[in-house]
């Protein structure tokens, strides 16, 4: 019975580590996507003016 409890605690610890990893890198990836979209939109807006 003690063995099952240890496995559950280990699974919880790994799950928490995985969640922290996803949250940390998720914010970083989200920031990169937002910056990329902003730069892309800015480039698309300025392109027709540059061609005139």
- Look up residue 51 and give its two tokens: 């061609």
pLDDT tens for the chain, residues 1 to 52: 445 455 667 877 888 888 999 999 999 999 999 999 999 998 888 766 555 5
46 vs 48: CA distance, rounded Å: 6
44 vs 41: CA distance, rounded Å: 5
Give the residue numbers spanning the domain of 39. Answer: 1-46
Residue 52 domain flag: no
49 vs 42: CA distance, rounded Å: 12
Q: How many domains does the chain have?
A: 1
Residue 4 domain flag: yes
């Amino acid at each position: 019975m003690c063995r099952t409890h240890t496995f559950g605690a280990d699974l919880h610890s790994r799950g928490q580590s995985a969640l922290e990893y996803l949250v940390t890198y998720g914010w970083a990836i989200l920031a990169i996507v937002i910056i990329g979209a902003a730069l892309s939109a800015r480039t698309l807006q300025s392109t027709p003016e540059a061609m005139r």
